[in-house]
Structure 1
Amino acid sequence: MDAYPISLDDIVLRGELVADGWTDRDIARAVAGGVLAKVRHGAYVDAGLVAPLDPVGWMRVRTRAVLRRAHQTAVASHQSALAEHEVPLWGLSLDETHLLRTDGRAGRREAGVVHHCSEVVDAEWIVRNGIRVTRPARAAIEVVTSESPEAGLIAVCGVLHNGLATIEEIQEAARRATHWGKSLNNRLVLARADHRLSSVLEIRMWHLLHDQRIPRPEPQVEVFDEWGNLLGIVDFLWEEPGVFMETDGRIKYERYRRPGETLEGYLLREKRRQEAICLATGWVCLRLGWSDLERPRQLARRLRTILARQERAG
């Protein structure tokens, strides 16, 4: 598969430019003039190719620049691999390239590259977008065992939701990683993982509910009217007290807006959907966003109060 627009061949090394007759002054002028973009020390690319890239896109380009110089058997891993699988990333450094050393040499960290010394068998890596990367299940566990549980949960749920691996495959990858650092994260993260969670905001909210010991809601619940017509899908539902939660994030606005629909039009349609669900069920709706995650204890108190009040009212 070669869907990514920038390939290994698009990366030009300083030595190759010099061999073609360039001087260091020529290279510097080309960078200053917007002809070449410097990816990392001694590696360049056509500036037009990288102009529209976001931070994850730039990380992917740097991965290719690193692989141009790496041992031919090196495999991109951790978030460098997840980016190639198009799994959402959160809470992870995008400034470093992660590689698995398969040449038997010790792992180390240098010049924006983290070399991991870890055994990887052929079944654990594939070629994606023209480069060798660890498979989604292993890449997710690599993040779980090196980063925070929250970042790891986002990686695992992203892999599950996108259908890139089954929970059994991720559990098997975790079993093989019991000797890695932070392997205790595996149990916590896998106990919380759910393929139904579809965005970083939903996953972070799910993580917060667990951490704050809020009763677990049911995610992504379809709601029908009395005639069996689908009114909508709510992000989280506490059915017994009759409370549902909706998360407001940019991705949701982009994903569910109809062609040509304005943001105001989408928000009005979303408000009417919420009202229809409340009228049909008698439930109470909470709308929460990114800012609510910054005050987890206050949010937990608010949720407990609302859930307890609805239980008494019921």
Structure 2
Amino acid sequence: MDRAGLVRSIAAAQDDLITRAQALAAGFSRHDIDHLVAVGRWRPLARAVYLTDGSRGEPPPRRCRIRAAVLSLGPGAHVVFGTAAELLGIAGLPRRDEIHVALPGRAAKLARVSDPAIVLHQLEHQPGTVVQVSGIAASEPRLTVAEIILREHRYAAVSVLDSALNRGLLTAECLATVPALIRGRRGAVAARRYLAEADGRAQSPLETRTRLRCVDGRVPPDALQLEVRDDDGYLLGVGDLGWRGPRLIAEADGRDAHGTPEAAYADRRRQNLLVNAGWTILRFTWQDTLHPAYIPHTVRQAIAALRAR
């Protein structure tokens, strides 16, 4: 294979990226690399890391930028905190542009960062706590979650815990080991409370936030993912949050899960079945969770009205 083919093969396995060291090892000279950058065929994304498909005018994908950050910092570099959660598919944190990368000890002190979006952390992580996600080194799920809940406020922290449990990245047994992992660290007292509130039945951060608003407003649901069946056992629908006594269901309407016409039609059909079976349906959006009193007040009013019938 010629040097151009070798570079294409390497870049194809890492989001069209090549490092300067990899290009030199493949037989390119420094002059060759600088020329490719100068004519726009290669685009610098991080220190000594280039996007080989430089002709594209659009911004590179997020995963490409994350990989470039890790490649630019060399052996031992791995993503942590929210960036690791993002790669692992753990939801619950607000979208941020920063790319959090860790290096151990002296390597972190000597590292140079050219991209202002890269936040470098000096962290010593034990062998076995770093995994590969699509070929990018990242802190493993338990460590990622533990480090996030030490730093985030309650709603984000519990959402992250719920997401990791719901997606099977953590088990209840694994979660039980987190208190020992965070013992003595700043934020550990609050983080232990967040662990006690985690519930993997929540299927989205919106469901988590809706539940927490109800808990804070002293109208906690007595069921999550409540199955409603008719007298013959036929499943009519599953409610996100349920209060079985008054036969009340609250639905958390997220943009992704309910945003298509097909999803809206399915929601309406399901709601009609549930209403005809004697259930009352409330629907809440992300915006509703931003107002502490709105959701619990609405639930409390609905329960009072149903009990007065």
TM-score range normalised by the length of the shorter chain = 0.7 to 0.9
Aligned twin of 1:259: none
Distance in 2 of aligned mates of 1:49 and 1:237: 53
Instruction: Write out aligned runs for 1:128-143 (5 A).
Output: 128-143=133-148
TM-score normalised per structure 2:
0.80
Aligned twin of 2:267: 270
The 1:227–1:74 alpha-carbon spacing in structure 2 relative to 1, beyond 3 Å, is same
From 198, 201, 205, the equivalent of 2:206 is: 201
Amino acid of the structure 2 residue aligned with 1:19: R
- Point out 4+ residue stretches in structure 1 off by more than 6 angstroms: 48-54, 106-110
From 300, 303, 308, the equivalent of 2:299 is: 303
Aligned twin of 1:94: 97
Deviation, 1:36, is 4.4
Aligned twin of 1:19: 30
Helix, strand or coil: the match of 2:67? helix
The 1:310–1:264 alpha-carbon spacing in structure 2 relative to 1, beyond 3 Å, is same
Aligned twin of 2:6: none
The 1:19–1:89 alpha-carbon spacing in structure 2 relative to 1, beyond 3 Å, is farther
Q: Does 1:183 align with 2:193?
A: no
Distance in 1 of aligned mates of 2:54 and 2:271: 44
Instruction: Confirm or deny: 8 A CA contact 2:16 2:53 kept in the other structure.
Output: no
Instruction: Confirm or deny: 8 A CA contact 2:102 2:108 kept in the other structure.
Output: no
Distance in 1 of aligned mates of 2:110 and 2:301: 50
Aligned twin of 2:288: 292
Helix, strand or coil: the match of 1:214? coil
Instruction: Write out aligned runs for 1:224-263 (5 A).
Output: 224-253=229-258, 263=260
TM-score normalised per structure 1:
0.79
Amino acid of the structure 2 residue aligned with 1:81: A
Aligned twin of 2:65: 62
Distance in 1 of aligned mates of 2:74 and 2:44: 22
Aligned twin of 1:155: 160
The 1:109–1:212 alpha-carbon spacing in structure 2 relative to 1, beyond 3 Å, is farther
Structure number with greater Rg is: 2
Deviation, 1:139, is 0.6
Instruction: Confirm or deny: 8 A CA contact 1:102 1:120 kept in the other structure.
Output: no
Q: Does 1:85 align with 2:88?
A: yes
Instruction: Write out aligned runs for 1:20-39 (5 A).
Output: 20-23=31-34, 27=37, 29-30=39-40, 35-39=41-45
Instruction: Confirm or deny: 8 A CA contact 2:79 2:99 kept in the other structure.
Output: no
CA-atom RMSD in angstroms: 3.2
Distance in 2 of aligned mates of 1:141 and 1:115: 19
Instruction: Confirm or deny: 8 A CA contact 2:20 2:48 kept in the other structure.
Output: yes
The 1:74–1:40 alpha-carbon spacing in structure 2 relative to 1, beyond 3 Å, is closer
Instruction: Confirm or deny: 8 A CA contact 2:69 2:99 kept in the other structure.
Output: no
| Aligned positions, number | 292
Distance in 2 of aligned mates of 1:125 and 1:12: 22
Structure 1 range deviating more: 128-137 or 99-108: 99-108
How high is the sequence identity, in percent, across the aligned residues?
24
Deviation, 1:42, is 4.6
In the alignment, structure 1 segments of 5+ residues that lack a partner are 255-262
Instruction: Confirm or deny: 8 A CA contact 1:137 1:173 kept in the other structure.
Output: yes
Structure 1 range deviating more: 105-114 or 182-191: 105-114
The 1:229–1:210 alpha-carbon spacing in structure 2 relative to 1, beyond 3 Å, is same
Instruction: Confirm or deny: 8 A CA contact 2:257 2:263 kept in the other structure.
Output: no
From 123, 132, 143, the equivalent of 1:127 is: 132
